[in-house]
Chains A and B, each alone.
Chain A
Amino acid sequence: MTALSITPIRRPSWLTLPLTIGAVIILFWLVVTVLAPVLSPYDPLEMAGRRLQAPSWAHWLGTDALGRDVLSRTLYGAFHSLPIAVIVVALSVAIGATLGAISGFIGGIIGAAIMRLVDVTLSFPPMLLAMAVAASLGPGLENAAVAMVIVWWPVYARLMRAQVLEVREREHVEAAVASGASDSRVLTKHILPLCWTPVLISATMDLGQVILLAASLSFIGLGATPPTPEWGSMISDGAAQFYSWWVALGPGLAILTIVLGFNFIGDGLHDYFDPKSK
C-alpha cells in the first residue's frame, strides 16, 4: 500500500498571535503614513466646516476649535509620528552602537569615559531630561527629536558593549586574531555581525516608547508647533476644548493603537526568545 504523504502547511513557530496582531496594526499605520493625502477627506490645515462640530457623517471625528476636520488631521498625524520615531531610533542606534562597540573593543580610558557618560545620562528620568534639552533648544519637532536622541542613545551603547564583550571571548575571534587579522577586520568581520540581532530587536521594541515620548513632549508644548497636525499637540488642543471630547479622541486612539502595535510585536518577540514564559 502506498501511502500518500501530505505535509500540511505549518504555521512557522515564530508567527505567534501577538506578533501577527502587532504586524497588522503597524502595517495599517504604514499605509496611512504614505496614503494620508489620498485617504483624508479634507485638508488638515484648512477650515472644513463650523467650529467644534460633534462627529457626523460629514466629519466622522468632528471638527476642532478652528473648524478643521479631526479625522483628516489624525491621518496626517501619522506622518509626524512614525517617521520621526524611526529617525530618532535609527540615529540613537547609530551613535549608541558605534560608541558601545568602541568601548567594548578598545576599552581603556576612552572606553571607560564613554561608559561613564552612558551611566550619567541613564541616571535621569528620560522624560525629565528630554524636557530639559527640548526646552533649551526651543520648540519644534526637530529639536524634540534631537532631545530624544540624546536621551535614547545610551541604551544601545550599553547593549552593544555587552554584546561585543561577550562575542570577543569566542574561539573564532581568537582564531582570527591568531591568524593575523587586523583589529578593524576582527571587529567588523568577526565580532559585529554577531552583535546586531539583540540591538535591532530592542530598537524595534523601543519605537512605540519613542512615539509616546514624542507625543508627550508635544502635549506639553515642547515638540510640534501649531498648526502641525501632530497627535500630542492635537490632544493638547482637546484639553483646551475639554467639553468637546471628540477633539482629542482621534489622536488619542491613534497613539494608543500604534504603540499597542509595537508592544504586541515586542511581546511576541519576547515569547519567541524566552519560551519559558509562554
Chain B
Amino acid sequence: MARYILRRLIAMPFLVLGIVTLAFLLTTVTKGDPLTAIVSDRQMNDPEAVAAAKARWGLDRSLPERYLIYVGNLLSGDLGTSFITRRPVAQDVLFRLPATLELVIAAMLVGTTIGITLGVLAAYFHNTGIDHLARFFALFGSSIPVFWLGLALLYVFSVKWGILPGPGRIDPRADLPAMVTGFMTIDTLLAGKIRLFFDALWHLILPAFVLGWAVAGTISRLVRANMLEVLDREFILTARAKGAGEFRVVVRHALRNTLVPTLTVIGYSFAYLLTGAILTETVFSWPGMGSYAVDAARGLDMPAIIGVTIVGGVVFLLTNLITDIAYVIANPRVRLG
C-alpha cells in the first residue's frame, strides 16, 4: 500500500507538468487573434500600436520561448495577466475560488443528504413504487441540463412565487461584511450580521439544489446497490434476531457497511461538480471561478483561460488522488493496479 501511495505521489509533478503543457499548447492553436481582445478596433490599423501591444504581452516571441517563460513564471506562482481585467490571473482566481467552493460544498451536502436517504429507501423498499420513483429521480438528475433547470427554478420560485431570492450570493443592497474567508455565510457570521447570514444561506438554496441533484442521483444508485447486497447478509439477520429495531438495523448495521464506496463516489463527484459549477454560476450570476472561465472563453482572454484550466486541472487531480488513497487505506483488500 505504501508503495502504491508513493508511486501516485511521484507521478504527481509529471502530471501537473503535463496539464500545464497541454493547456498551454491547446490554447495556442487559436484561430481567433488574441490581439482583438487587447487592442481596440481603431488601433488595429496602427502598426506601431499593434507592435507595442505584442511586445507588452510577449506575443512577438516564439512559441518555445513563451512556453519557457510561462513555466518559469508559474513556478513563482505567476499565472500571467488577464487581457480583460488587467489584473494577475492568480489574484483573480484566488479572489473567486471561495465563492465556487462555497457553492460546491453546499451542493455536495444537498446531494449527499438526498442521495443517501433515497438510496436507503430504494433498497429497503426494493422493487416497489418508492424504488422506481428513486430510480426516475436519479436518471432525471443526470439528464436535465443544469443551465435550463437553473433558469426554470429561478422563474418558478423567484419570479412566480417569490419565495426564494433571485441570482447572486446576497441581497445586492446589503452592506457587505469584510472578506475574511471569502465564504459569504462564514464572513457574515464573523461580522455578527445574522440577518445577512440567513440572506446568504437563502441565496445558496437554489444553485446548490440545481448542482446537487445529479450527484444525489449517482449517490442514491450506488447506496441502493450496496445496501441490497448488505441487507441479505447474515449479520443483518442476527441483528434482527436479537431484536434490533428496523431503523437501527438499517442505519447502524447496513448503512455503515456501505460507507466506503459511498465516500469514494462523493470524492469522484467533485469532477462533476466543477463542471456543473461553470454552468450553474453563469445562470445564477455567481461570482466564482466558473463564471470567470466563461467570461474568459467568451472574451478570448488567453492568459485567463489557460490559468483557470490549469487551476481546475490541478484541483481535479488532487481530489482524485485523495479519493484514491483514502479508498485504498479504507479498503486494503483492493487490488492495486
Binding site for B on A (CB under 8 A): 18, 116, 119-121, 123-129, 131-138, 143, 150, 208, 212, 215-216, 219-222, 232, 235, 238-239, 242-243, 245, 248, 251-252, 255-256, 259-260, 263-264, 267, 276-277
Contact = CB atoms under 8 A, between A and B. Distances in A.
Contacts of B144: 255-256, 259
Contacts of B27: 132-133, 135-136
Nearest to B217: A263
Contacts of A243: 159
A235 B275 contact: no
B312 A128 contact: yes
Contacts of A276: 225, 228-229
Given A120-B15, A120-B18, A216-B145, A129 B309 contact: yes
B23 A132 contact: yes
A235 B30 contact: no
Nearest to B312: A128
13 contacts: A116-B14, A125-B312, A135-B300, A136-B28, A137-B31, A216-B279, A232-B145, A235-B147, A242-B154, A251-B148, A256-B145, A263-B142, A267-B139
B313 A125 contact: yes
A116 B17 CA distance: 12
A219 B309 contact: no
Interface stretch (B41-49, B73-81, B290-298): B290-298
Interface in B161-199: none
A127 B298 CA distance: 14
A123 B298 contact: no
A222 B300 CA distance: 11
A123 B143 contact: no
A235 B151 contact: yes
A126 B279 CA distance: 13
Contacts of A222: 297-298
Interface in B285-332: 293-294, 296-298, 300, 302, 305-306, 308-309, 312-313, 316-317
Contact of A116 (B18, B154, B278, B293): B18
Given A131-B278, A256-B145, 8 more contacts: A116-B18, A123-B18, A127-B278, A128-B278, A128-B309, A242-B154, A255-B148, A259-B143
B283 A125 contact: no
Interface of B: 14-15, 18-19, 21-23, 26-32, 135, 139-140, 142-145, 147-148, 151-152, 154-155, 159, 224-225, 228-229, 271, 274-275, 278-279, 282-283, 293-294, 296-298, 300, 302, 305-306, 308-309, 312-313, 316-317
Contact of B151 (A126, A239, A255): A239
A153 B19 CA distance: 17
B151 A242 contact: yes
A166 B100 CA distance: 41
Contacts of A129: 26, 309, 313
A123 B31 contact: no
B309 A124 contact: yes
A124 B21 CA distance: 12
B316 A125 contact: yes
Contacts of B296: 135
Nearest to A238: B151
Given A125-B316, A131-B297, A222-B297, A136 B305 contact: yes
A136 B298 contact: no
A119 to B, nearest CB: 6
A11 to B, nearest CB: 17
A204 to B, nearest CB: 15
The 9 closest A-B pairs by CB, nearest first: A120-B18, A135-B297, A127-B275, A252-B148, A136-B30, A260-B143, A259-B143, A277-B225, A125-B274
B145 A137 contact: no
Contact of A216 (B15, B28, B147, B151): B147
A132 B18 contact: no
Contacts of A221: 298
A238 B148 CA distance: 9
A157 B110 CA distance: 34
A137 B297 CA distance: 11
A126 B29 CA distance: 19
A238 B21 CA distance: 38
A123 B144 CA distance: 25
